[in-house]
Amino acid sequence: MNLFDKFQPLADARRSIEQQSSDFFNIVMEEIISATEAVVNGRRMILAGSNNYLGLSFDTDCIEAACEATRQAGTGTTGSRMANGTFSGHVALEKELAEFFGCRNTIVFSTGYIANLAMLSTLVGADEVILLDADCHASIYDGCRLGSAEIIRFRHNDVNDLEKRLKRLAKRNTNVLVVVEGLYSMLGDRAPLADIAAVKRKYGAYLLVDEAHSLGILGENGRGLAEEAGVEDETDFIVGTFSKSLGAIGGFCVSNHRQLDLVRYASRPYVFTASSSPGVIASTRRALNILQTRPELRRRLWNNADMLYQKLQDLGFSLGPEPSPVVAVRQEDKEAALAIWNDLLQRGVYVNLVLPPATPDGGALLRCSMSAAHTSEQMEKICDAFASVRTA
Ligand SMILES: Cc1ncc(COP(=O)(O)O)c(C=O)c1O
């Protein structure tokens, strides 16, 4: 009996996928040409699955800010936020995020994954309850596992199911945190947040919204679904990431609860990891400023998103429930999905292939994510490639 024997089912699955496509496990971005193009495994490719919603990873001001901060403060902080790893940039970014969201408090974490680990494992303790949407991201599930709260799932976007469970829990007189995402990462659908906020208010629960895929995308000012749905005052905690619309890496939580700051001292994922490097913090600050001052990026993103959704719908593909910058093409059968993914790759278009168990309903997904940086020529090529694989 070998330590790796338990991975045999994974090894078998990998072998069977590799027989269909040698690329799937070996995607290397060999040369990054722009926010929307790269040389991948020797081929020039349009990136239509990179979560680079506003295209800011190649913004010249963001790059300059990162270079300047690196020259001034070095390549890394070499320490945790609690020890030697809080630089003036971290403090400034926390202040700027608080101003942007109009919230009292912010904590910046090293990634969005760590933000969820930290918040969910720390905020809700033993004898308390986390009620989460069943389709929540793995980082939310992992945060729950790291903590000691009781975890109960409700059916995806089903407010009646949420209310039924809140009603039952009301008898226990305990703290309940409801956790949802703004835009769901796999199918690009919104949470019914106004209704969720209404039931959480009715039962005196708390609400945390992960706006990873909605920051910079939804709301008049780009603050996310809570802004769009008009429930920012009722949203106790907003978690987000810098790794998508802001084109960098890192995570945060903002809240009007005065005591949010205490999470810093109680949270192992905050205390026991190094803080983000000065360059990352500087580019994120610049990107946050661009998000606020260039609303045309959001408009361009939505034009591209709407166009792709419409085009793929016209071609007869089965898509996620509503147009959004995440355009998910559903495939019942894993082999068919892999064949289409491979075909798109040969035609110079990279999208994410998502296989079960990472998909919400056990099917496979060709997950596209649109960018404000996609040109009309690139959009046409993406649409043409899908049209060709449809008829192939
Ligand atoms: C909903 C959601 N939350 C959190 C994360 C984690 O973000 P990060 O990439 O910053 O770790 C992701 C990343 O895909 C996500 O989709």
User: In Å, how far are 54, 88, 270 from 74, measured between CA atoms?
Assistant: 27, 13, 21
Contact present, 258 and 66 (Cβ < 8 Å): no
- For 172-196, the pLDDT digits (tens) are 999 999 999 999 999 999 999 999 9
Residue 139 beta carbon below 6 angstroms from any ligand 1 atom: yes
pLDDT at position 166 is 98
Tell me which of 244, 311, 334, 374 is the catalytic residue: 244
Asked if residue 72 has pLDDT above 90, the reply is: yes
pLDDT at position 382 is 98
Q: What percent of the chain has pLDDT over 70?
A: 100
Asked if residue 258 has pLDDT above 80, the reply is: yes
Per-residue pLDDT, averaged over 242-271, amounts to 97
Per-residue pLDDT, averaged over 18-33, amounts to 89
Residue 50 beta carbon below 6 angstroms from any ligand 1 atom: no
pLDDT band at 71 (very low <50, low <70, confident <90, very high): very high
Is the N-terminal amide bond of 357 cis, ω within 30° of 0?
yes
| Ligand 1 pocket: which of 136, 241, 245, 280 to mutate (most atoms within 8 A of CB) | 241
CA gap 292, 96 in Å, rounded = 11
Written as one letter, the residue type at 286 is R
Residue 21 CA, distance from chain mean position: 27
Residue 222 beta carbon below 6 angstroms from any ligand 1 atom: no
CA of 55 to the centre of ligand 1 (A): 17
pLDDT band at 1 (very low <50, low <70, confident <90, very high): confident
CA angle (129, 130, 131) in 5-degree steps: 110
Per-residue pLDDT, averaged over 57-66, amounts to 98
Based on the residue annotation, tell me whether 88 is a catalytic residue of this protein: no
Residue 37 beta carbon below 6 angstroms from any ligand 1 atom: no
CA of 108 to the centre of ligand 1 (A): 14
- For 324-342, the pLDDT digits (tens) are 999 999 998 888 999 999 9
Residue 251 beta carbon below 6 angstroms from any ligand 1 atom: yes
pLDDT band at 20 (very low <50, low <70, confident <90, very high): confident
CA of 138 to the centre of ligand 1 (A): 8
Residue 244 beta carbon below 6 angstroms from any ligand 1 atom: no
CA gap 48, 216 in Å, rounded = 18
Point out the ligand 1 atom lying closest to the alpha carbon of residue 136: 1
Residue 181 beta carbon below 6 angstroms from any ligand 1 atom: yes
Asked if residue 25 has pLDDT above 90, the reply is: no
pLDDT band at 375 (very low <50, low <70, confident <90, very high): very high
CA of 387 to the centre of ligand 1 (A): 31
Per-residue pLDDT, averaged over 310-337, amounts to 95
Per-residue pLDDT, averaged over 238-260, amounts to 98
Asked if residue 44 has pLDDT above 90, the reply is: yes
pLDDT band at 391 (very low <50, low <70, confident <90, very high): confident
pLDDT band at 360 (very low <50, low <70, confident <90, very high): confident
CA of 390 to the centre of ligand 1 (A): 31
CA atoms within 13 A on the CB side of 245: 27
CA of 187 to the centre of ligand 1 (A): 14
Asked if residue 4 has pLDDT above 90, the reply is: yes
Based on the residue annotation, tell me whether 244 is a catalytic residue of this protein: yes
| Ligand 1 pocket: which of 111, 137, 326 to mutate (most atoms within 8 A of CB) | 137
CA of 53 to the centre of ligand 1 (A): 14
Top-confidence residue, 200 or 1 = 200
pLDDT at position 323 is 97
* Structure tokens belonging to residue 261: 């700051």
Point out the ligand 1 atom lying closest to the alpha carbon of residue 185: 16
Point out the ligand 1 atom lying closest to the alpha carbon of residue 241: 10
Asked if residue 392 has pLDDT above 80, the reply is: no
Contacts of 51 by beta carbon, 8 Å cutoff, 6+ apart: 213, 243, 244, 369
What is the residue-averaged pLDDT of the chain?
Answer: 96
